[in-house]
Amino acid sequence: MKIYHCLAEDGRRYYGQLHGEDRGLLEVWEGDIFTTWRPTDAVVKIARLLSPLPLPPNIFALGLSYRKHAEETGIEAAPEPIVFMKASTSVIGPEEAILLPDAGPTKVDYEGELAVVIGRRGKNIPLAEAMDYVLGYTCANDVSARDWQFERQQGQWVRGKSFDSFCPLGPCLTTRDELPHPNRLAIRTVLNDQVVQDASTSGMIHDIASIVSNLSKSLTLLPGTVILTGTPEGVGFTRTPPLFLREGDRIAVMIEGIGVLANPVRAERMEA
Ligand code: ZN
């Protein structure tokens, strides 16, 4: 199923699924999406959609996990996934604004990515069991300030990728049973009217099961952990001339079987 999280017109937040073809109504489910939950009779009017995971316990992300993206950056892909983290406070939902901070950075880039959502606590997960720990998938935009990522911070990527609003997630969480082939999904990023990334998750060097199993060898995966599985080719900083996000842009990440995660780009007006 496709699990949506919304702010309803009554001012409360709900999880559930869309009511038929009507994208303005949510059939409310109750309980916990990670353990037991069930449908109710309630249907509410959606004021706006929220991130399906508003505050993940951890957000891990993979660098250079698509062969063609590694090639375009000129950085050699490592035999094991390169893992970094994004702050949980960087998460926003569909249609929320990606904010360009007043004080810089100036080179803010997009990265459309398939995000894996962990459903069960796990450590040292065998490869053959890894998919049992996956609750489902959502679209992510691993927004990255390239000046902070590469030119400041001595090569540490975390701050450049953790500005508030730099991790849009959504529009829904598609459960694993509905996407039996996560490594064969079309993934596309559109900036305004321009298709800037157009690829398939089959271009990943490591498949989803390997990523989950590998990560769990060194740390505990908790329910709600989000793993951004890396971006395909076509990011802005590798282009000639480079292409960075500007105020007034609209950026959308689309993944087959999940949907469209679109966000406007605005300048952050800092209060003096
Ligand atoms: Zn990324």
Task: Give the count of beta carbons closer than 10 Å to the beta carbon of residue 201.
Answer: 24
Say if residue 259 is in the same domain as residue 163.
Answer: yes
Q: Given this model, what pLDDT does residue 271 score?
A: 59
User: Please, which pLDDT band fits residue 42 given cuts at 50, 70 and 90?
Assistant: very high
Question: Whole domain around residue 27: which residue ranges?
Answer: 2-49
Say if residue 41 is in the same domain as residue 68.
Answer: no
For the purposes of burial, counting CB atoms within 10 Å of the CB of 54, is it exposed (0-12), middle (13-18) or buried (19 or more)?
middle
Q: Which two tokens stand for residue 120?
A: 């069960």
Say if residue 44 is in the same domain as residue 151.
Answer: no
Domain at 193, CATH number: 3.90.850.10
Q: What is the DSSP letter of 36?
A: -
Task: Give the count of beta carbons closer than 10 Å to the beta carbon of residue 206.
Answer: 19
pLDDT digits (tens, 9 = 90+) for 205-255: 999 999 999 999 999 999 999 999 999 999 999 999 999 999 999 999 999
pLDDT at 36 over 80: yes
How far is Cα 163 from Cα 58, in angstroms, rounded to an integer?
15
Question: How many A from CA of 20 to the centre of ligand 1?
Answer: 34
pLDDT at 2 over 70: yes
Domains in the chain, number: 2
Question: How many A from CA of 235 to the centre of ligand 1?
Answer: 10
Q: Is the torsion defined by CA of 140, 166, 83, 192 positive or negative?
A: positive
**Angle in degrees, CA 15, 16, 19, rounded to 5:** 140
Question: How many A from CA of 166 to the centre of ligand 1?
Answer: 11
Contact yes or no for 120/34 (Cβ under 8 A): yes
Mean of pLDDT values over 181-199: 97
Question: How many A from CA of 141 to the centre of ligand 1?
Answer: 8
Say if residue 37 is in the same domain as residue 112.
Answer: no
Question: How many A from CA of 231 to the centre of ligand 1?
Answer: 5
Q: What rounded mean pLDDT belongs to the chain?
A: 94
Q: For residue 96, tell me if it sits in a domain.
A: yes
Distances (CA, A) of 132 to 37, 57, 71, 208, 220: 18, 19, 32, 11, 15
Question: How many CA atoms lie less than 13 Å away from 164 in the CB half-sphere?
Answer: 10
Question: How many A from CA of 223 to the centre of ligand 1?
Answer: 21
Beta strands 186-191 and 250-255: pairing type? Answer: antiparallel
Beta strands 259-267 and 98-100: pairing type? Answer: parallel
For the purposes of burial, counting CB atoms within 10 Å of the CB of 248, is it exposed (0-12), middle (13-18) or buried (19 or more)?
exposed
Q: What are phi and psi of 201, to 5 degrees?
A: -65, -10
What is the three-class DSSP state of 262? Answer: strand
Question: How many A from CA of 65 to the centre of ligand 1?
Answer: 9
Q: For residue 169, tell me if it sits in a domain.
A: yes
Question: How many A from CA of 7 to the centre of ligand 1?
Answer: 28
How far is Cα 179 from Cα 21, in angstroms, rounded to an integer?
20
Distances (CA, A) of 24 to 38, 93, 112, 169, 175: 21, 16, 26, 19, 21
Which residues have a beta carbon within 5 Å of ligand 1, which is an ion? 111, 142, 231
Question: How many A from CA of 170 to the centre of ligand 1?
Answer: 16
Say if residue 152 is in the same domain as residue 233.
Answer: yes
Q: What is the pTM of this model?
A: 0.95
Q: Given this model, what pLDDT does residue 20 score?
A: 81
Say if residue 30 is in the same domain as residue 143.
Answer: no
Q: What is the DSSP letter of 221?
A: B
User: Please, which pLDDT band fits residue 80 given cuts at 50, 70 and 90?
Assistant: confident
Q: Given this model, what pLDDT does residue 104 score?
A: 73
pLDDT at 272 over 70: no
Contact yes or no for 222/55 (Cβ under 8 A): no
Q: For residue 272, tell me if it sits in a domain.
A: no
How far is Cα 260 from Cα 60, in angstroms, rounded to an integer?
22
Q: Given this model, what pLDDT does residue 196 score?
A: 98
Say if residue 45 is in the same domain as residue 94.
Answer: no
How far is Cα 241 from Cα 72, in angstroms, rounded to an integer?
14
Question: How many A from CA of 232 to the centre of ligand 1?
Answer: 9
Q: Given this model, what pLDDT does residue 270 score?
A: 66
Question: How many A from CA of 188 to the centre of ligand 1?
Answer: 14
Question: How many A from CA of 159 to the centre of ligand 1?
Answer: 13
Amino acid (one-letter) located at 79: P
Say if residue 260 is in the same domain as residue 212.
Answer: yes
pLDDT at 101 over 90: no
Q: For residue 54, tell me if it sits in a domain.
A: no
Q: Given this model, what pLDDT does residue 23 score?
A: 79
Say if residue 100 is in the same domain as residue 162.
Answer: yes
Say if residue 167 is in the same domain as residue 135.
Answer: yes
Q: Please indicate whether residue 83 or residue 77 has the higher confidence score (pLDDT).
A: 83
Say if residue 65 is in the same domain as residue 34.
Answer: no
Question: How many A from CA of 70 to the centre of ligand 1?
Answer: 11
Say if residue 9 is in the same domain as residue 63.
Answer: no
Q: Which two tokens stand for residue 226?
A: 């989000």
How far is Cα 57 from Cα 80, in angstroms, rounded to an integer?
24
Question: How many A from CA of 29 to the centre of ligand 1?
Answer: 32
